[in-house]
Amino acid sequence: MRHLAFLATVVAALCPLAIAEEPPASNDDALEVDWGKADGKVNDIGLQSDYLELATVTDATAEQQTILKTDQDAREQALRQWDQKNENKIKRYEVAINRARTDAQKKRYEKGLERLMTERSELAAQHLAKSVKSLKPDQQKVWYGHQLFKAVEPRFTDLGVKLNDEQVKQAKAICTKIARKTRRNPAESERFKAAAFKEIGREVLTDIQRRTAAATVRARQEREKQRKDDEEEEEEEEEEEDDRRRRDHL
């Protein structure tokens, strides 16, 4: 409900601003980064997954790519060691989940396994964060803006809004601009994610897209209200039935 209320507030603030069907051009400051293209050259040295993404988005030099490959290898080694250390523990959790006699037991074991795997994910993230810090300050900001956009874009998709290529470019530029205003990774802050969501909605979305988002929020609010009304009605019926049984018993 808190998420729904947040979306309703933001969409309500954006809708009155919708005056054109074509997305407005962003200001020059917001468009100073050409995302993901750079010179388009990432050396074939075995960079994979998020390390390849990091090198591509930040236009890492050949020397930086070599350093990133060393970092990637170090992370893989650290994760292999973690896997070896926790292999038996993971298997015990999996067996316990399959043999659980009650839902409560199963949920307890599932949470334990989830905590363990979160530890692994955090280890991987720590290695990548260290690699990001090895880049130049402006490259770091570009990466943090990239992460902010990845965190915010699903919110628009969830509201039935799909950004076109030009809108994606403008939205990413806004996220980079926001990233340049803070020393932290804005993708890890709800405040910065909310700010990016609102500015993209105001500066990039078309009138039609804003109306689509608003309609989605209203529909969800109505469904939530109906669900609550149904629950209250059901509770009242149960109370009436309990009262009837008590009277009959007397």
- According to the model, what pLDDT value does residue 32 have? 39
Q: What is the pLDDT of residues 143-172, one digit of tens each?
A: 999 999 999 999 999 999 999 999 999 999
Q: Kindly state whether residues 173 and 238 are assigned to the same domain.
A: yes
Confirm whether 53 is domain-assigned: no
- According to the model, what pLDDT value does residue 12 have? 54
Q: Which of 114, 208, 205, 118 has the alpha carbon at shortest distance from 155?
A: 205
**112 burial via Cβ count (<10 Å: 0-12, 13-18, 19+):** middle
Q: Which of 161, 163, 181, 160 has the alpha carbon at shortest distance from 172?
A: 163
Q: Kindly state whether residues 225 and 146 are assigned to the same domain.
A: yes
Q: Kindly state whether residues 73 and 15 are assigned to the same domain.
A: no
Q: Which residue has the tokens 């997305």?
A: 23
In order, the DSSP letters of 21-68 are SSPPPPPTGGG---TTTTT----SS---HHHHHHHHHTT--HHHHHHH
Model confidence, pTM: 0.71
Confirm whether 51 is domain-assigned: no
Confirm whether 54 is domain-assigned: no
133-147 burial, b at 16+ Cβ within 10 Å, e below that, comes to: eebeeebbbbbbbbb
Q: Kindly state whether residues 122 and 154 are assigned to the same domain.
A: no
Q: The domain containing residue 208 runs over which residues?
A: 1-45+138-250
In order, the DSSP letters of 210-242 are HHHHHHHHHHHHHHHHHHHHHHHHHHHHHHHHH
Q: Which of 232, 246, 173, 180 has the alpha carbon at shortest distance from 203?
A: 173
Terminal-to-terminal C-alpha distance of the chain:
43
- According to the model, what pLDDT value does residue 15 have? 52
Q: Are the C-beta atoms of 206 and 18 separated by less than 8 Å?
A: yes
Q: Which of 8, 5, 11, 9 has the alpha carbon at shortest distance from 205?
A: 11
Long-range pairs for 122-125 at CB < 8 Å and ≥24 separation? 123/78, 123/79, 123/82, 124/75, 124/79
Return d(Cα 239, Cα 230) in angstroms, integer: 14
Q: Are the C-beta atoms of 174 and 203 separated by less than 8 Å?
A: yes
Q: Phi first, then psi: give them for residue 23, nearest 5 degrees.
A: -65, 135
- According to the model, what pLDDT value does residue 39 have? 44
Looking at 134, 149, 184, the residue that finishes a domain is 134
- According to the model, what pLDDT value does residue 25 have? 36
**DSSP single-letter state for residue 103:** H
Q: Kindly state whether residues 147 and 249 are assigned to the same domain.
A: yes
Tens digits of pLDDT across the chain (250 residues): 555 555 555 555 555 443 233 333 333 343 333 334 344 466 677 888 899 999 999 999 999 999 999 999 999 999 999 999 999 999 999 999 999 999 999 999 999 999 999 999 999 999 999 999 999 999 999 999 999 999 999 999 999 999 999 999 999 999 999 999 998 899 999 999 999 999 999 999 999 999 999 999 899 888 888 888 888 878 877 877 777 777 777 6
Question: What's the domain count of the chain?
Answer: 2
